[in-house]
């Protein structure tokens, strides 16, 4: 048989791809598996890039999901530093950037997404960091420390986590973002402003309701100019402004694409031999009654497991409700469901804007919940969301807090 023919090929060696390979092998002990990754590193735990690696909680070696011997023992071929540039769904073939061809029987698209880039003068300067992967962490880590400075563009969770981590490492941090307070898409305004106050108290310079208009070289570093007229000299400029799902291969193959690669409840695309999982998958959520695309660790893990089992002959619907977590200067958050600050929110605090639960309601039903320094409540929150019962004002008191 052609050495580049595999029963299963997985494009993307992140968490979704790695867990899919493991679950395929559990169900099919003999089928050939190829796991393809564009990075040079074995699959690793991405949340650590903005969290434990900066606080000393973990080392680079400790974030690797499995060592090379695991893949060798399980007959999983791993091709790192390999970028797939073409997909011919009719012939079940792939081509990489070096012109090598591969053939599959079942294919998983799990390449995640690419960082959104600043569309401003100087946004493409060498050294401007669009923070996404382990290479970015290693480069930034080598520059970070006392008497160093950084501009962080973006006020969502990635930008906020990175700003907190750099500040803890004695970097002088300035954040620039267009919203009036941090994590506006998720935090209700009182919580967002309270967290922003904590950042300022910890020495982070906040330029809210502002955006960069240009970046240029200056004094061996960078000069960032903002719309409001601020000029900030810094050693580093780091952008954390979201990702765009990697849908190019799916589009070229004629698969449905709408805010990601469209899949059914089994994580299959319109072609029964092609699946998608992780950050790029647009999937139906039975608990919420709508389609979602989720860019969080738990979703990538769970979808990888489900997709792998289904590729190997299973018929398991993905009905799991994933959660996400964040840490900002010692403030810990766990959230599940539709945590969208545009929904009606109701907060139950033990300590105002620090310890308690934020509920997100649509038409009187709890659609999401975020626990703030409250732990081990995710299963109960899932049950509450799945019940779809109307929530009265007294019904939520003490339910999760």
Q: pLDDT tens for residues 323-365?
A: 999 999 989 999 999 999 999 999 999 999 999 999 999 999 9
Angle between helices 157-168 and 189-201 (to 10 degrees): 20
| Confidence class for position 229, pLDDT limits 50, 70, 90 | very high
Identify the DSSP state of 44: B
| Confidence class for position 3, pLDDT limits 50, 70, 90 | confident
In this model, does residue 286 exceed pLDDT 80? yes
Tell me the pTM.
0.95
**Contact (CB, 8 A) for 16 and 303:** yes
Distance from C-alpha of 332 to C-alpha of 204, rounded to nearest angstrom = 18
Looking at the domain that runs over 117-239, which CATH code has it been given?
3.50.50.60
Closest to 320 in 3D by CA, of 332, 333, 304: 304
Beta bridge partners of 8: 33, 106
Bridge pairing between strands 281-285 and 290-292: antiparallel
In this model, does residue 393 exceed pLDDT 70? no
| Confidence class for position 392, pLDDT limits 50, 70, 90 | low
pLDDT digits (tens, 9 = 90+) for 94-121: 999 999 999 999 999 999 999 999 999 9
Q: What is the pLDDT of residue 13?
A: 98
Closest to 277 in 3D by CA, of 252, 251, 296: 296
Domain range annotation of the chain: 5-45+65-114+244-311, 117-239, 330-387
Fold equal for 5-45+65-114+244-311 and 117-239: yes
Identify the DSSP state of 142: H
Q: What is the pLDDT of residue 399?
A: 79
73: Cβ contacts below 8 Å, ≥ 6 apart: none
Bridge pairing between strands 172-176 and 205-207: parallel
Q: What is the pLDDT of residue 397?
A: 76
In this model, does residue 389 exceed pLDDT 80? no
| Confidence class for position 401, pLDDT limits 50, 70, 90 | low
Rg (alpha carbons) of the chain, rounded to whole number: 22
In this model, does residue 1 exceed pLDDT 60? no
330-387 CATH pick, 3.10.450.40, 3.40.50.720, 2.60.40.10, 3.30.390.30: 3.30.390.30
pLDDT digits (tens, 9 = 90+) for 127-163: 999 999 999 999 999 999 999 999 999 999 999 999 9
Beta bridge partners of 344: 361
Mean pLDDT of 64-93: 97
* Whole-number average pLDDT of the chain: 96
Bridge pairing between strands 113-115 and 243-245: antiparallel
**Contact (CB, 8 A) for 285 and 291:** yes
Q: What is the pLDDT of residue 2?
A: 73
Distance from C-alpha of 173 to C-alpha of 190, rounded to nearest angstrom = 23
For the domain made up of 5-45+65-114+244-311, the CATH class stated in words is alpha beta
């Amino acid at each position: 048989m052609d050495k580049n023919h595999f029963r299963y090929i997985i494009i993307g060696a992140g968490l979704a791809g790695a867990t899919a390979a493991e679950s395929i092998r559990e169900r099919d002990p003999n089928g050939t598996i190829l796991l393809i990754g564009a990075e040079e590193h074995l699959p690793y735990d991405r949340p650590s890039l903005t969290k434990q690696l900066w606080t000393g909680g973990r080392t680079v070696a400790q974030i690797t999901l499995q060592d090379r011997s695991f893949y060798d023992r399980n007959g999983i071929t791993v091709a790192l530093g390999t970028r797939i540039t073409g997909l011919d769904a009719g012939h079940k073939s792939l081509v990489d950037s070096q012109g090598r061809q591969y053939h599959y029987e079942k294919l998983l698209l799990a390449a995640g997404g690419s960082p959104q880039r600043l569309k401003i003068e100087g946004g493409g300067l060498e050294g401007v960091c669009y923070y996404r992967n382990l290479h970015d962490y290693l480069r930034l880590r080598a520059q970070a420390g006392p008497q160093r400075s950084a501009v962080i563009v973006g006020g969502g969770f990635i930008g906020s986590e990175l700003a907190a981590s750099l500040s803890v490492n004695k970097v002088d941090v300035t954040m620039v973002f267009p919203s009036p307070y941090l994590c506006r898409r998720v935090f209700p305004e009182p919580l967002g402003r309270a967290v922003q106050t904590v950042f300022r108290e910890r020495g982070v310079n906040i330029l809210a309701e502002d955006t960069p208009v240009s970046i240029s070289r200056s004094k061996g570093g960078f000069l960032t100019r903002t719309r409001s007229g601020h000029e900030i000299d810094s050693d580093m400029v780091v952008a954390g402004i979201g990702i765009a799902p990697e849908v190019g291969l799916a589009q070229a193959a004629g698969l449905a694409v709408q805010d990601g690669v469209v899949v059914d409840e089994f994580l299959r695309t319109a072609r029964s031999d092609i699946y998608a999982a992780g950050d790029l998958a647009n999937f139906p959520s039975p608990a919420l009654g709508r389609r979602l695309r989720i860019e969080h660790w738990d979703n990538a893990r769970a979808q990888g497991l489900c997709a792998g089992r289904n590729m190997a002959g299973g018929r398991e619907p993905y009905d799991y409700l994933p959660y996400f977590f964040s840490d900002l200067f010692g403030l810990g958050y766990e959230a599940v469901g539709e945590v969208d600050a545009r929904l009606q929110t109701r907060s139950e605090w033990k300590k105002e804007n620090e310890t308690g639960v934020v509920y997100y309601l649509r038409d009187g039903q709890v659609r999401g919940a975020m626990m703030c320094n409250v732990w081990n409540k995710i299963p109960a929150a899932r049950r509450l969301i799945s019940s779809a019962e109307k929530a009265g004002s007294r019904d939520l008191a003490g339910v999760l807090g």
